[in-house]
Amino acid sequence: MLLRYVCSVLTLIALGIFGVIALTGGALAVVLRDPIYAVLSLVKAMLGLAAVYFILGAEYIGAIQVIVYAGAILVTFLFVVMLVNLTPADIPPLPRGLNLYGALILAITWMVTLSIALKAVLELPDPEEAMGMPTDQYLFGTLPPIGKALFTAYALPFEVLSITLVVGIVGASLLAQKRHEL
Amino acid sequence: MKVELLYATLTLAAGLFSLGLLGLLLRRNLLLAFLSIELMLNAANLNFLAFSRYHNEPTGAVFVLFGICLAAVEAVIGLGLVVRVFRVHQELGYTKLSALRW
Amino acid sequence: MVASYLPLAVGLPLIGAVVLGLGGLWVASLRHQRFFIGSIATATVFASFAIFFLTFLSYSAPLRVEGWNWLAIEPMRLRLSFQVDTLSLWMALIVTGIGTLIHLYSIGYMAEEEGAWRYFAFLNLFIFSMLVLVLADSLPLLFLGWEGVGACSYFLIGYWFQKEENAIAAQKAFIMNRIGDLGLLAGMIWLYSMTGTFEIGQLEKIIYPGDVAVGVGLLLFLAATGKSAQIPLYTWLPDAMAGPTPVSALIHAATMVTAGIYLIARMDFLFAAAPEVLTVISGIGALTALVGGLIATRLYDIKKILAYSTVSQLGFMFAAAGAGAYTAAIFHVFTHAFFKALLFLGSGSVIHAVGTQDIRQMGGLRRYMPITGWTFWIGTLAIAGIPPLAGFFSKDEILAALYARGKAGETLYFLYWGALLVVAFLTAFYMGRLSWLTFEGSYRGTEKPHESPSVMTLPLIALAVGTVGAGFVGLPPLLGTSWLGQRWLLQSVKPLSLPPLEHSTELFLVVISVGVGLVGLSTAWLLFGKEFLRAEYKLSLAIGDFHHLLSDQLRIDKLYEKVFVQPYYVLSDLAKDIWGPWTARSLPQALANFLYRIGALLSRLQGGYIPSYIFYLAAVGLLVLLWGLWG
């Protein structure tokens, strides 16, 4: 019992550490003027998030997060930054009085979104009572249940998603053509 | 203990979302606006996973998977557009892009 | 065994209609094969008749032909299925039997017509609709057939649509019928809302509270007056004579117009709970019979005379149905189908021969066309109620039923009985007048008359045989048991019980009704059999204004014109002058201006400055979230 308690406290602490990493990464991505640095900060945020996913028990999603987000998407961002040769000089400076307005906006949105989420939580049933499941093992993020859900209940969205990917590929190559008049 | 974990995760997600929104409002550059949107998407994914863990049910994870795929598509298309816009205007600061006005 | 062919019996005329209709529409060369087209149409109806006849021979218990699901909107489930019981089978036999003969006759009658394919396709479609009507086991399906026969009647009355008056007559028939249909629709929905079922078999088992029975009964009777040409909706039937004569014979004499009687006999359980409605039905029937009979005495158009005679005979049937003697009504439907079809086809033969419908230009035709002449005389005697022809038996049964009802304490029915006796006299009189003026004396026309081809005379002979023999299925109690009334129809129809009459009373009734018929005929003979047209002038002078009133068909049409049509025009003019301009110009203009202003206002939001768009987006998103928090 005690062990269990210690374990969950440790989980919380780990979550806090990686959460702070992700948050600082996000904040730097928003604030830094040099686009290269901004993208790299976002990579940091993504990696922090991936760690959070692992802590939550979603190993598979964490891995995907590292591969797709940190690996593929943000690398594309970097490519584009280099392709259009974006330098700090191209970025308009942040408006004056950012500290005040930015903090205000941040506070308001954070409060609103958080209170929405908490309201939802308060309406939740207690899972242990409602479902009577053992909660020691968290299997939701492992491959077998995801695969099962993907190929049974969500087979159609899954197929539609593949079509969307094809459309994305075709669209991107069309957009990136050099001498194509739109 | 579960609920505490949920609260912590949700707080983190809300923070990331707010940062993304802030970036979207402040950075007047197409590329950086995109970056902020990615941040907001990730916040949403984190919410999904938090509740998925709470219920110990894979549906949320499945939706995160879908979300990541769609984010990839969106990034590809969006960045293609960014490149396109840059070629036409030599400019990514969107305060000056006003051709779509009425 | 035979039952498995029943869907075919219903479907064959439809197949014929579709094949002929589409074939004629798409294959131009087929249109000239008129004999071929007519043969196909006749063959489908005859095959249908044969199946029904075999079913009739092997009939032991009601059959159901299960169809497929039609409407399944829970909790309402509606199946397309047919019910073959004694009543519906009997009607189906009449429809297909008479229908076959009239199809056959039409081959000759329409031999010169360009649009014969159209004619036969609609004729077949009519037979199909009529079969759906009589065999339907639920009210919506019956309604489908009901509308189907109305539509076919519209198409066929307007067959020669190139002439405007025919098209108008067709529209008149259709609109009059629509008024009645509204009654059927409303009654049907009312019944459904009370009982939750449309199936006649289910409805039968329910005991109805009096007010519902009266309301629904009156609505159904309104429907019946529309289809069966009773007061106040009868005026379409005489105009319907604009169609080809076989159509008049089939639709407007023998089959479609009897749908109202059929409806009342089918829904007998409902009317049993509403004796007030039955009194109304009888009264309307007797009044219609009287009006129709009176008008028929003063007309010169051979088809119009027969049309009013039909109205009058339908009045007889309604009077019987109103007395609760549904079997007598159906019996009269049966016999009337024979002799009225015979008379109409005979008139068609005459029109075919002399090229006019005016009896003042006929006369002495029996010498030129003996078959037509003799069979027409048989029809005349039958409708006048001379024994042992068919009309005598059914008319006698109706009169006896009314008398018995009167004797049972409802004295109003004595009045109806008296009125119908007068009509019986009138019937004999105007039919005698028609026959003498047409077939006896000397020819007054110009065109050389000739007998019709055998394809036309054959149905005449067959119908004449039927006219002689048909009455024997319903012998009066004086002579034996009525097979039709006591054995056959009783299995599915429940007439109200009447006190049995004594034999002496019955003999007295028979003598009176036959006597009245004979008096009518001899009056006609005294006047027209001796002096022909001169008597006509004398008579019209003698009754003066009344003659004009009658030959104008009581000016009911003009009354309807004044009461319904003119106010409608006034309303239309108002709409044209006030409502129309307002809705077409002022209102849209005002709306457009309003929207334009709003658009101008909103367009300021779209300034082309993207950060402001993002700000709207974020602000609205947060507001929506806040709203969710608050809600």
What's the CATH number where A58 sits? 1.20.120.1200
B chain contacts of residue C608, beta-carbon cutoff 8 Å: 98-102
Is the domain of C506 the same as that of C364? Answer: yes
Please tell me if residue C624 touches chain A, with a CB cutoff of 8 Å: no
Full residue range of the structural domain in which residue C603 is found: 557-630
End-to-end CA distance of chain B: 55
Band the pLDDT of A62: cuts 50, 70, 90: very high
- Name chain C's partners: 3 or more CB pairs within 8 A: A, B
Would residue A111 count as lying in a domain? no
C chain contacts of residue A116, beta-carbon cutoff 8 Å: 625, 628-629
C-beta separation of A176 from A83 below 8 A? no
Bridge partners, residue C63, by sequence: C84
Distance from CA of A66 to the nearest CA of C (A): 29
Band the pLDDT of A132: cuts 50, 70, 90: very low
A chain contacts of residue C611, beta-carbon cutoff 8 Å: none
Task: Closest CB to B101: pick one of C607, C611, C615.
Answer: C607
- Over the Cα atoms of chain A, what is R_g? 21
Would residue C339 count as lying in a domain? yes
Distance from CA of A89 to the nearest CA of C (A): 20
Total number of domains in chain A: 1
Band the pLDDT of C191: cuts 50, 70, 90: very high
Would residue A173 count as lying in a domain? no
Q: What gap in Å lies between CA C251 and CA C258, rounded to an integer?
A: 9
Interface with chain B: mutation pick from A44, A140, A142, A177, highest number of B CBs within 10 Å:
A140
Q: What pLDDT, on the 0 to 100 scale, is given for residue A127?
A: 55
Please tell me if residue A77 touches chain B, with a CB cutoff of 8 Å: yes
Please tell me if residue C629 touches chain A, with a CB cutoff of 8 Å: yes
* pLDDT, mean over chain C: 89
Distance from CA of C219 to the nearest CA of B (A): 59
Is the domain of C597 the same as that of C523? Answer: no
- Architecture of domain B2-94 in this structure: Orthogonal Bundle (1.10)
Please tell me if residue C622 touches chain A, with a CB cutoff of 8 Å: yes
Q: What pLDDT, on the 0 to 100 scale, is given for residue A135?
A: 55
C chain contacts of residue B28, beta-carbon cutoff 8 Å: 610-611
Could you give the residue ranges of the DSSP H alpha helices within C390-477? 390-407, 412-439, 454-469
Band the pLDDT of B43: cuts 50, 70, 90: very high
Task: Closest CB to B58: pick one of A11, A113, A149.
Answer: A149
Give the range among A1-5, B51-55, C256-260, C316-320 with minimum mean pLDDT: A1-5
Q: What gap in Å lies between CA C356 and CA C358, rounded to an integer?
A: 6
CB contact under 8 A, B16 and A23: yes
B chain contacts of residue A83, beta-carbon cutoff 8 Å: 83
Q: What gap in Å lies between CA A48 and CA A40, rounded to an integer?
A: 12
Q: What gap in Å lies between CA B87 and CA C438, rounded to an integer?
A: 100
Would residue A158 count as lying in a domain? no
Is the domain of C476 the same as that of C578? Answer: no
Is the domain of C530 the same as that of C576? Answer: no
Is the domain of C586 the same as that of C507? Answer: no
* pLDDT, mean over chain A: 83
Calculate the CA C346 to chain-centre distance.
20
Q: How many residues does chain A have?
A: 182
- Name chain B's partners: 3 or more CB pairs within 8 A: A, C
Nearest to B19 by CA among C406, A102, A179: A102
Q: What pLDDT, on the 0 to 100 scale, is given for residue C1?
A: 65
Q: Which helix (H) or strand (E) holds C77?
A: strand C76-79
Distance from CA of B73 to the nearest CA of A (A): 5
Please tell me if residue C623 touches chain A, with a CB cutoff of 8 Å: no
CB contact under 8 A, A116 and C622: no
Q: What pLDDT, on the 0 to 100 scale, is given for residue C449?
A: 85
Token output for C542: 């003698």
Q: What gap in Å lies between CA C399 and CA C418, rounded to an integer?
A: 9
Is the domain of C546 the same as that of C563? Answer: no
- Over the Cα atoms of chain B, what is R_g? 17
**Is-cis flag, bond preceding C388, omega within 30?**
yes
The pLDDT tens digits of the residues spanning C162-186 come to: 889 999 999 999 999 999 999 999 9
A chain contacts of residue C622, beta-carbon cutoff 8 Å: 108-109, 112
Is the domain of C461 the same as that of C593? Answer: no
C-beta separation of C56 from C89 below 8 A? yes
For residue A125, pLDDT beyond 80 = no
More confident call, A42 vs B2: A42
Please tell me if residue A15 touches chain B, with a CB cutoff of 8 Å: yes
Full residue range of the structural domain in which residue A84 is found: 1-92
Would residue A157 count as lying in a domain? no
Could you give the residue ranges of the DSSP H alpha helices within C158-274? 164-195, 200-203, 210-227, 236-239, 245-249, 259-266, 268-272
Is the domain of C426 the same as that of C453? Answer: yes
What's the complex ipTM? 0.89
Q: Give the domain ranges of chain B.
A: 2-94
CB contact under 8 A, B98 and C614: no
Is the domain of C590 the same as that of C540? Answer: no
Distance from CA of A100 to the nearest CA of B (A): 12
Q: How many residues does chain B have?
A: 102
Q: Could you tell me the sign of the dihedral formed by the alpha carbons of B62, B68, B70, B72, in that order?
A: negative
Query: Kindly report the CA angle at A41 between A40 and A42, in degrees rounded to 5?
Result: 90
Would residue C218 count as lying in a domain? no
Taking only residues 548 to 607 of chain C, the set having a beta carbon closer than 8 angstroms to any beta carbon of chain B reads 603, 606-607
Could you give the residue ranges of the DSSP H alpha helices within chain A? 2-31, 35-56, 59-64, 74-83, 98-122, 127-131, 143-151, 155-176
Is the domain of C451 the same as that of C376? Answer: yes
Is the domain of C325 the same as that of C456? Answer: yes
* Most confidently predicted of A174-178, C72-76, C100-104, C249-253: C100-104
Please tell me if residue A139 touches chain B, with a CB cutoff of 8 Å: yes
Please tell me if residue A8 touches chain C, with a CB cutoff of 8 Å: no
Please tell me if residue A70 touches chain B, with a CB cutoff of 8 Å: no
Band the pLDDT of B86: cuts 50, 70, 90: confident
The pLDDT tens digits of the residues spanning A63-86 come to: 999 999 888 888 989 988 888 888
Token output for B25: 């409002």
The single-letter code of the amino acid at A145 is P
Distance from CA of C222 to the nearest CA of A (A): 56
Distance from CA of B56 to the nearest CA of A (A): 5
A/B interface, count of CB pairs below 8 Å:
244
Band the pLDDT of A179: cuts 50, 70, 90: low
Total number of domains in chain C: 2
Is the domain of C473 the same as that of C573? Answer: no
Q: Report phi then psi at C69, rounded to 5.
A: -65, 135
Task: Closest CB to C629: pick one of A108, A109, A116.
Answer: A116
The pLDDT tens digits of the residues spanning C44-77 come to: 999 999 999 999 998 888 888 888 888 777 777 8
Would residue C440 count as lying in a domain? yes
C-beta separation of A71 from A45 below 8 A? no
